[in-house]
Amino acid sequence: MKTICFYFQIHQPYRLKRYRFFNIGRDHYYYDDYSNEDIMQQIAARSFIPANRMLLDLINTYKGKFKFAISVSGVALDQMEVYAPEVIDGLKELSRTGAVEFLAETYSHSLSSLIDPVEFQSQVQQQTQKIKLLFDQKPKVLRNTEMIFSDDIAEMAYNMGYTKMVSEGAKLILSWRSPNYVYKSENQPNMKLLLRNSQFSDDISLRFSDYTWKEYPLTAEKYISWIAATSPQEEVFNIFMNYETFGNLQPAHSGIFEFMKALPKFAFDKGIEFSTPSQIMDTHKPVGTVSVPLAISWSDEERDLSRWLGNKLQKSAFNTLYEISERIRLANDRRLKKDWQYLQSSDHFYYMSTKHFYDGSMHSKFSPYQSPYDAFNNYMNVLSDFIDRVKAQFPDSVDNEELNSLLTTIHNQEREIKKLQSELKKVLTENEEKLVEKTPVK
């Protein structure tokens, strides 16, 4: 039986305000609160809230047989809690149906898996804790930022306790093979993989309202007929998209909501069911292995990392940021750690991309900057101030090993002091009790 696996990604970064050179050392607040609030509320109103409502109606209409998965970054949840709590309420309703699976990902929507395994593990743990707290689910499937995947990342994920991941069905790793099966990592055979079907996914997320597309207009009946017409051996169709496809990337007037509302009926009529990633990987055996020595992603035709790390500006900013990761892990400053999280979002490097910038493509329209160079200068000014704050606590004159030793000593002393305080309190309490016992009652 053919099965459709819908997965939707939710993320919004904390956008930086215009931060100039003379702000360094004077202004330690980096965010454009007005833009962040305005953008989140706009997207919530035209996309997230109506999408939540539509999908909940579909689950109820088909009595839980319509299923899908969602992953949401921690930085997006942080903003929703402040600017659009009704979106979280809607996601909670979806979670309570039992038909929606929440996936694990990095809290910051970061590229940490490419450079800092410790940070990568920490962020995944933090995001899963947030998902458990808000939606009462413990994620079983890992979706890395931008679907970035490699043999090394598979090994890291497995060591973190994951045996299931989702990624991109890139031709450079599949060659002639179809993405419509369950695979496993060649490097870590205990890691099962669901690979995105880019054609079926992009037909909805990118081409749905494209008047020049030869298949326009796309109807639910036509779409399902394409899936039904595939080889009988192809059973799993992984349709992975940005949640903003509904109402934002594809506006409501395009008919995207009506398309989605009609789709399950045509699927069920053809004997096609819906399932979540973990359910599929629990019930289907891998048909083969994939080897991914160089990291892939779900972006652009190349399916590589060039959208975020394709030029010298991006690489310079990226390496400068992670040079201080060891010192950040030693810090206890809550504000410093929160800034560290927000500065890691992949979007900051995305804005520095020079790919297609001059052709007016859709990618450049997502950037709040006039050019990639403006994005680089603004980010590096912020990063300079941030690094100065880190160095104020942990000077360069002390290397990481020495610093770690000193902090360990301090932490041990703190624990010893707390222990002695506890013992002293216990002794004082006992003495008070003895004194009460000896005091004659008048």
CATH of the domain at 37: 3.20.110.20
Q: How many domains does the chain have?
A: 1
| Structure-token pair, residue 4 | 């459709």
- pTM score, whole prediction: 0.89
Strand partners, 241: 8
Which residue do the tokens 């912020």 mark? Answer: 382
Pick the catalytic residue from 101, 105, 119, 146.
146
Beta strand spans in 189-288 (E):
192-196, 236-242, 246-247, 250-251, 273-274
* pLDDT band, residue 421 (cuts 50/70/90): confident
Q: Is residue 75 part of a domain?
A: yes
Asked if the model's pLDDT at residue 425 lies above 80, the reply is no
| Domain carrying residue 65 | 3-290
pLDDT of residue 359: 46
Asked if the model's pLDDT at residue 437 lies above 70, the reply is no
Model confidence over 207-243: pLDDT tens digits? 999 999 999 999 999 999 999 999 999 999 999 999 9
N- to C-terminal Cα distance for the chain?
A: 87
* pLDDT band, residue 360 (cuts 50/70/90): very low
pLDDT of residue 365: 65
Lowest mean pLDDT among 85-99, 235-249, 413-427: 413-427
Q: Is residue 162 part of a domain?
A: yes
Q: Is residue 424 part of a domain?
A: no
- Give yes or no: 430 in active site: no
pLDDT of residue 43: 98
| Structure-token pair, residue 437 | 């016992």
Taken in order 212, 217, 223, 229, the sign of the CA dihedral is negative
| Structure-token pair, residue 288 | 């083969």
For residues 163 and 153, is the Cβ–Cβ distance under 8 A? no
Lowest mean pLDDT among 105-109, 164-168, 317-321, 425-429: 425-429
Q: Is residue 220 part of a domain?
A: yes
Number of residues that this document lists for the chain: 442
Model confidence over 25-44: pLDDT tens digits? 999 999 999 999 999 999 99
Q: Is residue 164 part of a domain?
A: yes
Q: Is residue 19 part of a domain?
A: yes
* pLDDT band, residue 357 (cuts 50/70/90): low
Q: Is residue 20 part of a domain?
A: yes
pLDDT of residue 427: 73
Q: Is residue 12 part of a domain?
A: yes
